[in-house]
Chain A
């Protein structure tokens, strides 16, 4: 380090899910090291899943993340059903999509208002922000509560819902719960549209970078539960080929594995999804997006907050569409699957991006091997690259405190869920 060398340490990253830290070394006008240090202890899920029945898997993997348990349940049932040769019918697909809409609304509303907005508006926490911006906070909490309500109506509770089983739901609600839910969702559509406009009106830094985006792509839906894995590089593959194209590797400063595509860091999550799937938005949502005046595809991570708002509006519109004419419950109820010795793959769009599961089962349906790749692990390398480039452009001669705040803000654009990211291990390691 030169005489002018200095280091910035953020020992505990605030307003992220889980435990992370940031370490930056600066020499003159260059960053010589930028580590997003993830020290959340590994919980070794992939190992203790071994020997468990496929029926236990959705309840277990939900515990990887309290903020996006449905994502884990959805990718798990997709992989289990793939292994056992079960294809969900249209009713089950619709009910699962409705459940997922609840999680997207809850998770995105929480991030926009409780985690991200304090950065933009200059507060330490939502508790301070609520004094100055009561109607903004109130709107956010209302949308978050509505997302949670969808989850609770379908799953019994919003964190670790209980009705998702391989092959279908254990039970589904009747009109006494669905009718008021439909009314509440319909009444919130305008609120969601306003939220899109509000996020676009915020003073967001113009910081464009070059990186590939990765998301699911479905023939006619905005992707949630199914699709092929697509990238802005032109890649488009079935879920079962994920591991052939995406490489995981370990770095010393993180208990979560990093990921790369053809040697490069890449982005998953709302901004990547929107960049790849704008043509799948229903017209009112596409109009709300166009009205922001922001050019998409966008390669500015600060616009992630706008992408999240667009996806709240999308998820709410989808929830209304499904609830306006709820499909019959009976065909969506869980039925016994026929376990067999097989491998299955599942990939769904968690609020933070693609979540990949692979399981190998024995003939009795017991897990022999599991592999889970969460979105935040995949975004780690991109987050570090983004923060490095953004800080250098921001100006390294600024005071440490300003640099620290800006770096944290860039990291938060990714809504990192560190609890998710660290609970995974590579299944096989070849040592020489």
Chain B
């Protein structure tokens, strides 16, 4: 019997599901090997179906989502969070710490019609997560590699290298040295192959903190370059606001 796969969506931009929907012939080939039991954007709707592998996109940002992620966990054997929202809150977690209720009340004519939790949080704050794929967005390559491993019974391995190392391997000129660009490459997990430095700009941290993060050293360098504290804070508080290493760096660097 083919393994059952469910793709669940929480608060997100839908961009990580596109890793599958943009996979072209690889998506059709994957559909030969697994049975998609829930994938609403592709047209298959059974949100409560039991699954062997569940991919979860998006952060948990309403009471309904908090209840739903627990149901998803109960009905999934192996749960993988995909993307910055599911693994680190995503941009919408920038509301955490602000008075979200006041934001809603200040902007909707009828805030009583809107249900929203005070904070948007990573899935792992609510349920056990078996594996995570980082990125904003995750790439087709990452998702296909995940299935490649899981369908062979191999545990997928976490990524250990940084964007900075990938950049060196790719032979790009360092944007910090040559352009004075504030680059998060030294502290960000690889996954994109140093996309931004390859395009002449600093890394902005789509893949979240690398395995080892020397934020203090980076902040010292930026400060010496004349970057103000608020800019330092904003740099770390961006795509992955709830990633602990970046959250700490934003708090310490922004003081």
Contacts and interface: CB of A to CB of B under 8 A. Distances in A.
A, B assembled together: yes
A98 to B, nearest CB: 16
Given A48-B94, A127-B31, A12 B40 contact: yes
Contacts of A331: none
Contacts of A417: 14
Nearest to B62: A41
* Contact size range, A: 35 or more
B2 interface: no
B52 interface: no
Interface stretch (B71-79, B105-113, B146-154): B105-113
Interface residues of B, number: 65
A18 B14 contact: yes
A26 B155 CA distance: 52
A15 B42 contact: yes
Contacts of B94: 48
A304 interface: no
Nearest to B102: A47
A158 B23 CA distance: 12
Interface string B93-110: 011001010011011111
Interface stretch (A87-95, A141-149, A225-233, A338-346): A141-149
Interface in B8-58: 9, 11-19, 21-22, 24-25, 27-28, 31, 36, 39-45, 47
B21 A110 contact: yes
Interface stretch (B195-203, B214-222, B245-253): B195-203
Contact of B108 (A17, A130, A171, A425): A425
A244 interface: no
Interface of A: 12-19, 39-48, 52-53, 56, 59-60, 63-67, 69, 106, 110, 114-115, 118, 123-127, 130, 137-138, 141-142, 144-145, 148, 155-160, 162-163, 165, 170-171, 249-250, 252, 255, 417, 419, 425-427, 429, 431
B110 A252 contact: yes
Contact of A69 (B15, B36, B91): B15
A176 to B, nearest CB: 14
Nearest to B192: A157
A170 B203 CA distance: 12
B91 A60 contact: yes
A126 B104 CA distance: 38
B18 A47 contact: no
B61 interface: yes
A106 B239 CA distance: 24
A43 B120 contact: yes
A258 to B, nearest CB: 12
B15 A160 contact: yes
